Each structure stands twice: as structure tokens, then as C-alpha cells.
A and B are shown apart, each in its own frame.
Chain A
Amino acid sequence: MARHFSFRDFDWVLLGFVLMIAALGVMEIYSATLNTKFAGVHVKQIYWVLAGLVVLFLVSLLDYHILLDKVHWLYLASVVSLVAVALFGRKYMGARRWIQLPGGQHFQPSECVKVVLILALARYFCELPSRHASVSDILKAGLIAGIPMLLVLNQPDLGTSLTYVPVVIMALILGGLRLKHAGVMLLAGALAMPMVWHFGLKPYQRERLISFRQPEADPQGSGYQVQQSLIAVGSGGIWGKGTAKGSQTQGLFLPVPHTDFIFAAFAEEHGFVGAAGVLLLYLLLLMRLIHNAQTAPDRAGAFVIMGVVAVLTFHVLVNIGMVVGYMPVTGIPLPLLSYGGSSVLFTFLALGIVMNIRMRRFVN
């Protein structure tokens, strides 16, 4: 299959949005870590972004069809690496999520698994003969996503395992989920809730959910983070307090202001204007991605791009939702803005695949 492929078709507009968000992220990481022991990590973040760009270009060179063809091997490798983490991973802050690489870096395989899952589900749904997904298709898709999900949940990393859910849902919607099946799934999900609450969640996770419901009930306890985040966002006002001038951020009242709560720090220092601007950038980024899905060369490509859209949207909604008190504290980073190598690399990896698909949109 000869394919046309050219850097003329590289999505510079998309890359522009991505780099703008990443630049704002680097700036806010600098400001938020100024008075902490993390001071200077914004330079590291720049390196991560540069590394991400390299990954993006490298991935865009490799035809995504090859990835789709070999996805079963990738999937197998993912499951093996997750099992390896469970067995040999480094324990840090009560969770076994990281593998120590030679050279002292830590690597979180669960981020990479997300990309593999997108590819696996895309391939699965593209090979379905019928326009509608049957019950067994749904169960099989659920199984594909379910195995890595349970492994990640076991780490325990509720946040990351939840990010697999939107990929499945997006695949099911695009793959032709019948309304009645959707209804049954919602109902089953609702019925399973109490079971999950009692047996599936650990006590600290339950506490987080309770404190999310009533952050004022225990302002000194687990609701503290949400409360401080709301104070940071709210006190930012329209124009914000200025870079490195947010009292919540600089006074260390805001928890982890350079990772999970970076949006709160940004909103405090740059106000509604800045925060709404970042939201707008994310909207433009997502719209651009969907536009690429619309012009994708084939069904599988569109599936993959929409999988990326699903994951990014989920990240943005859950993270910002958490910052503004709409969502429980789950530890899901904000793509491109939050500090963190795994998160940055995943995002650029996923965007690399999108570029890859876009550059092959003119199918012979």
C-alpha cells in the first residue's frame, strides 16, 4: 500500500496550540515552585517538552497502520509491564506505579498503556463487520480495557485507571453502541455503585469522595485541598494577582501547585482572563483534533484520534473539575500544563500518532 506522506501536511496549527499551552505550563511551574524544594523543575519540564517533540516527530514517521497491525504485541507487552510493576515496581507514597530505569529516571508504564489501549480498541472496532456492536463485542471491548484497568487499579492508581474508561466509551459510541445497550450499561453501573463503594474503594478514596461532596465539613482534614484550591481560584479575581504573587500558591497553602493543582495556581495568578484563556486553548486543541478525525484517511485513524480526544477531554474535565470543586481529588494531571515527564511524554506520543494519521490523510 503506497501512501502519500509529507511534512507539508504536518499540523502546525495543532502544534502551535500545544506549544502555547506547554509554555504557559512551564511559566506556571516556575512560579509555583519558586519558594519550594522543587524550585527549578520548570527547566526539567522544558527538557520533557523537547523530548516530547522528538517523540512526536519520530512517531509521526512510523505509519500508524504498522502500529495497528502489531497492536496485539504492544497490548501483550503492556500487560506484562504492568504485572512487572506490580511485582518489581518501586513503592513511592504508598503506591507501586513506577519502574526505575537505569540512570535514575522513573517511568510510569500506565501512561503508555493508554496509547496502546486506544490503538487496540480502534483496531477491534474497525474489524467489526456489523454497523452495531453486539453484546459480545461490548463484553470483549470491556475485557480488552478491563485487564490493564484492574492492574492499574491494583497499584493503586484510581486516577489513571479511570482515564481508560473514556477510551472505551468513545470507542463504543463510535463503534455503534445501541441505545438499549447503553441504557442497560448505565443501569448496571448505577447498581454496581454501592458494591464498588464498599468493596472496590480503599478508605482514603472513600474519604476523598466524601470530602468532595462537603469540602467545608472538614476544612482542616481531607477537604483541605479542595478548600484551598477554591480559595486560590476565587481570590484570583478577574485579572489575577500576577506571576509569583499568588498568596495561596506562594504561601504553599495550595497543595502540589505545580502538578495536580497547577490550574488553581494559574487561575490565582492570572485570574479569570488567564484561566478562561487556557480553557479556550484546550477547546481549540480538541476541536482541531476532531477536525483531524473528520479528515482522517480511514475509519481506524478517526478511531485513534477520537480515542486521544476522549483521553485529553477526560483529563481536562476531571482536573479542572477538581480544581473548581466539581470533581473529587483523584490525582489526574492536566495535560501539557502539569509538571511531569510521564504525562508530557504520553501527550506528545498520542499527538504524534495524530500527526502520523493526518500526514497520511490523502490516501491514494
Chain B
Amino acid sequence: MPRRDDKIPQAKLMAIQYAILALLLVLAFRLARLQIGGSERFETLAERNRVRTIPILAPRGKILDREGRVIVDNYPSFSVLLLRDQVKGRDIDVEQIAAGLNMTPAQIRERMKKFASGPAYQPIVLKDDITPDELAFVESHRNELPELETIMVHRRLYPRKGFTAHLIGYVGEVSEAMLDLPRYELYQPGDIVGKSGVEQAYNDFLMGKDGSRRSIVNSRGKEVGRLSETPAVPGKQLRLTIDLDLQIAAEEALETVGNNGAIVAMDPRNGEVLAMVSRPTFDPNSFAVRISREEWNRLVTDEGKPLLNKAIQAQLAPGSVFKILMAVAGLQEGIAQDMHVNCGGGKNFYGRFFKCWVLAERRTHGVVEIQKAIYQSCDSFFYTLAERLGIGRIAKYSTALGLGRKTGIDLPQEVSGVMPSEEWKVRNFKQKWYAGETISVGIGQGAVATTPIQLARALGGIAMGGMLRRPHVANPSDLPPEFRHVSADYADEVRVPLDPRNWETITNAMVEVVNPIGTAPSAHLKDIDFAGKTGSAQVISNIGKAKIGGGHRFKDNGWFVGFTPRRNPEIVVAVLLEQGEHGYMAGRVTAQVIKAHVEKQRKRGLKLAGTPPQTTEISALWNGPGSGQEADALHGGRFRIELTPHRRKRALAAPGLELTPAPIPDYSRAGGGR
């Protein structure tokens, strides 16, 4: 074929030259836009690529008792983090990770799903408190699994066997529901926060500020250099008003009787809570690492309600303890002073016979005036007084003394209890108040429901001559203002008018309660100026009890609230014994706590004065347990009262925390991998 030899037109080649020039200029402009216009944005992205931020978790502050002894400490452990920004387009090998960390793939996926909405640079905690073997797995798979990282975590160490568990509470991962609340808006998913008790109330104070370590990594997640480290700011130590010695005494006293229930001891002069116990208890150490579903379900469904802090969350009929409030109302209204009631084992009101407890012992109280009505806890007297006062005046005084309302203690989830009144009945039941209901209220039954802390505050306030303090477990004055847990709804101090003569009448009678003529002579404490009031409250009416067949489930609750000394009291103790049946059982528990307190104070005094302890022999009326409804059976005899029985040693720290006894696992093998 002939080959043409005409040249290609120059214009065509020129056009191609310009076209190429134009296209390269487009690229040049693009480069300019990226490298000059967008360099800052891309520099940030490049930094985010190469810089890995690992959080340094701040330890929470220790919790101490009033004398600085440790109640809650921390111990070091390791957690595995999943760094999602190190995954780089690969699929996460869930199976391999699950096998190495002794988890199920489903657990890992669930964790990832929970945090899917968060930014990728924020690490997810996959597993807490890993074993040395699991740590070794992470270390030896750094190349294949660059998305795994381990960090040292300070984990909470709580006292053994659920000691102070309810008061202290526990910590856990902040829940999604909590994050929606304004109080937690600055928190991140995965943060460890207090979930109940002191841990929750003073979370912001106890919680430190996490730091972080920034290091340079390559795309495989290998650390090739360090940039900077922002140290963690540890949480602050919180000193409680709790007296560890008293707390131990209270826990032991309740443990010894074996009932469920609660104890509150507080200083009525200033509202400082000295001890707070609730039974059954739970072990918050198992909450420090994520709690298993089974264990949680067991705690939630347990009939004894172990998660409830009964000192502030049990709302139960106060029974005869309420008679002290009735006495205040009756005396202040000028009705009770000269009232004499003939107790015939009960009394008729509105055509119905209301029994006095004494009827069960086939006796009567005879003619009863106010003091005998208190120390013998005569129901007939207080039925009559209730009828004379009317529900309006009863409710007025009781409400003033703090019933039906939270005390404002610095702990979460306090309940208010119930103080019924005519308005209360209309509001809640759309029903009229029946006069007969007033009679039951007069002995602390019916709709009245109180918490142990309310009764401690009310009776402590009465003992103080009408000055009620807001209870608290941490002194607001110890805390910076922003961390104080004080609600403006509750006054620090409430004054209820109480005539000194009436105070005299009531407290004199309360002293007799623990004397041979009272309802709890077995709670008597030799040489201790101890006064109190028993109570036993029906969980269900006697008729109902008979109907159901009356198992132990419906045994009466026993109450006792006592204080010492009678004048200018230092301590008031409220004890609730569920199914305790008799107030005097609670009275003995109260006496144990009171005794522990007094002995501790005296020991201090003795140390100063150097007087040796002594034992005394006295003669008194004593009792044998198991008889009667509310009163002890009274026996005469001689007793040796030891002032130095098993001298309690001063506690060094809460049980389990004596010797910085952190259960530190052996991680020494981990570094080298396997």
C-alpha cells in the first residue's frame, strides 16, 4: 500500500499542545487548592492518623471515715481497649479477640454496638480486670491485632462482705439513660461513675479527670514515638461523718441477731450520721468489674431486697415509736398532761374494740397517765389521745417532726414515707377520712410509714428539745461549695416548739423504757444514761394474718429508737428489725451501738484520766426472751455488768482494707508475650 506523506496539520498539533497544557493546569490548580488552601484541614487529619490517644484513667478518691481511716480504696488492674480508629478498613476479627480474651463473640459485638455512635478515635473498654494470660495475649498479638490496647486502671476496692455497702454504694459504667440527664451531660459513654450511695452523691468530687497519652503510630498501630502526656488528675478523698468503730459495732450487732433490717446512728446536735447499716447486704466488689446478668438478677429478685438501703429506703409503719410523736402533740396541745385512761386491755371506739397489746398477756395496764403510757407503751391511752387530738393535729405535729417528707440526707434515692391526713386521703384515694383510721394512726399503724432515718431525726430532735437537724454523711463545710450535696428544699435546722416541761415528761418516760418497768428492760445499760422507745408494727392486720395462715413472712417488724445521754444527747440510734416481732430485740441492738459509742468516748476520757476499768455487780430485773408481745418477761436477779467486756480494739480501716491489701494479680509474665 502506498504510504501518504502529507504532514499532519500544525494547527492540530498546536491544539493538542494547548489541550495538554490546560489539563495539567487543572491538576496544578487542584494541587494548589489542596496544598495551599486546605493544608490546615489535612494537617489535622494527618495528625489524627498518626497520633493515637490512649486515656490515662484517673483514680477515684478514697472514702475515709471521720477519723481518716480508709473505708474505700483502689487497686490497680488492667483493661483491654478496642481502638476503632486503628482498624483501617479491615474487618475486626471478633472470633480471634473473643478466644484470646475468654469472651464470646456476641459479647464483643454487643460492646461495639453500644458504642457505635461515638467517635471512632474514642476507645472502647472491651474487658475489665483481665488476667495475666489475657494481658499476654494482647501483648503478643500487637501486629495482627493493632486495634487492641491495654491500660492500667484503678479499680474500686470495697470492704469485705458488703460492709457499709449501702451507705457507700458502688460504681459502674455510666448508662445511656444517665447520659441523657443534665447532671451527666459532660460525661462520656464508658465513664465509671457512682451508681448509688456516697459514690453517686459525691461522684463529681470523688471522680478525677482522666488524662491521656499521645503517641505516634504507623498504620499497623505500632508505636514509633511519643508526643506528650497529660497526666490524670486523681479524684479527691472524701471524709465521711461515719465513725468506723461505731459502724463495725452496728454491723456486728445486726449480724448477731440475724434479722434483716437497718441501723442509723446519728449525732442529733449536728445531723452527722455516725453509722448506717442495712441488711441483707451485697458485695460491691463484684460491681467494680462489670456484674454478670445472673448475679444482678439474683440481687434484684431477692425477697430481702439487698440493693435497698433500708435506713433511708424502707417505708414501714413505725408502730409504738410513733407514740413519742403523739406525746409531743398531746402535751403541746395541753391534752395529755391530765389525761387518765383506764386500759382494760383495749378500748371501744366508734363501736369497735381496739386491742391493747397487753391483752395478749391476759392482763391490763389499769389506769394509765402519759408517762406510764410511754414506758409501758399502752395502746389504749394513745387510742384515746388520738381520738381527742384528731388526725389534723396529729398530722401537723408529725409533719413538723419530719414524717411524710424526705430528711434531705446527702444520699440518693431517699424515700419520703407517708404521714396520712384528711387531705392526703382525698388526694390519693379520693375518699373521705374515717374517724376509726385516726385511732390506728395513734399507735403508729394504719397508713403511717416511716424510714429509720426519719425516726432517728424526729426522736433525736425531740431529745434535743425540738431542734431537728438535716442528717448528712459528709460535712458540707469540708467540701468546696460546688460539691456540696445540699438541697435548698430541706432546711439544715428545723425548730419545733417543745415546752421544757413536756420534754422532761417525755424523756423521763423514755428512760423508764429500758428500766425494769419499761417495755425493754433487757436493753438496759448500766451506768449509761440511755433512753428510748420500742415499737413493733404489724406488716399485715391480725385478721389478714390468720386468713393467709400467718407464716414467718408476716411477723411484726421490731423498732427501737434510743439516745444517750438524756440531756444534751450525743447520739441517737434507730434500729429496724424486719420480722423482729418485739421492740425490745431492736432495743438490745440499739443498746449495743450506744454502748460501743459510750465506751469509745469513755476510753478517750480514761486515757486522759488514767482510771482503770471496773466491773460492778448490780441487782436488777431481767428478762427471758420469747414471751409476751412487746414487753420482756421480767425476772429478778443479780448481774455482773462488765464495763470492760471484750474491749473493742480501735479499727484501723474498714474490714478488708487494713493493710493496703490490694489483690494485685501477677502481671510480670505478661510483658514478654507467649
Contacts and interface: CB of A to CB of B under 8 A. Distances in A.
Does A associate with B in a complex?
yes
Interface of A: 35, 126-129, 173-174, 220-222, 224, 228, 230-238, 247-248, 250-253, 267, 271-272, 275-276, 279, 282-283, 286-287, 290, 293-294, 298-300, 302-303, 306, 309, 313, 316-317, 320-321, 324-326
Given A247-B50, A275-B31, A294-B10, A237 B39 contact: yes
A253 B219 contact: yes
Interface string B1-22: 1111111101011001100110
A287 B47 CA distance: 39
Nearest to B2: A127
B8 A231 contact: no
> Which of B13, B46, B219 counts the most chain A CB atoms within 10 A?
B46
B549 to A, nearest CB: 66
Given A234-B41, A283-B24, A303-B8, A326 B35 contact: no
Contact of B8 (A174, A237, A252): A174
B418 interface: no
Contacts of A287: 17, 20
A312 to B, nearest CB: 10
Given A279-B31, A293-B13, A313-B20, A236 B4 contact: no
Contact of B13 (A35, A222, A294): A294
A212 B1 CA distance: 47
> Which of A35, A235, A286 counts the most chain B CB atoms within 10 A?
A235
Given A128-B4, A129-B4, A306-B13, A220 B88 contact: yes
A357 B627 CA distance: 126
Contacts of B41: 234
B89 interface: yes
A253 B52 CA distance: 13
21 contacts: A126-B3, A224-B89, A228-B49, A230-B42, A231-B45, A232-B46, A235-B42, A237-B43, A238-B35, A253-B49, A253-B219, A272-B32, A272-B36, A276-B31, A293-B8, A298-B5, A309-B16, A309-B20, A317-B27, A324-B31, A325-B30
A283 B313 CA distance: 83
B34 A230 contact: yes
Contacts of B218: 35, 250-253
Given A126-B3, A128-B4, A299-B3, 15 more contacts: A173-B12, A174-B8, A220-B88, A233-B31, A237-B39, A247-B216, A267-B35, A276-B28, A279-B24, A293-B8, A298-B7, A299-B5, A300-B3, A306-B16, A324-B34
Contacts of B4: 126-129, 299
Contacts of B21: 283
A228 B13 CA distance: 38
B394 to A, nearest CB: 70
Contacts, number: 145
A248 B49 contact: yes
4 nearest A-B pairs in the assembled complex, by CB-CB distance: A234-B42, A235-B46, A272-B35, A237-B39
Nearest to B120: A220
B664 interface: no
Given A303-B8, A313-B20, A324-B34, A233 B13 contact: no
B87 interface: yes
B543 interface: no
B38 interface: yes
Interface in B38-82: 38-39, 41-43, 45-47, 49-50
Interface residues of B, number: 45
Given A233-B42, A238-B39, A294-B13, A286 B217 contact: no
Interface of A, secondary structure class, is: helix
A252 B20 CA distance: 33
Given A129-B4, A247-B50, A253-B49, A234 B35 contact: yes
A119 to B, nearest CB: 13
A220 B216 CA distance: 20
Contacts of B602: none
A279 B35 CA distance: 14
Interface string B198-239: 000000000000000000111110001000000000000000
Contacts of B47: 247
A127 B1 contact: yes
B99 to A, nearest CB: 24
Given A238-B39, A252-B219, A233 B34 contact: yes
Nearest to A271: B35
B36 A238 contact: yes
> Which of A174, A234, A283 counts the most chain B CB atoms within 10 A?
A234
A247 B4 CA distance: 56
Contacts of B20: 283, 286-287, 290, 309, 313
A224 B88 CA distance: 8
Contacts of A306: 8, 13, 16
Contacts of B217: 251
A267 B13 contact: no
Contact of A234 (B24, B39, B49, B219): B39
B272 to A, nearest CB: 56
A321 B17 CA distance: 19
B547 to A, nearest CB: 67
A136 to B, nearest CB: 15
A197 to B, nearest CB: 24
B7 A299 contact: yes
B50 A321 contact: no
Contact of B46 (A127, A248, A325, A326): A248
Contacts of B43: 234-235, 237
B23 interface: yes
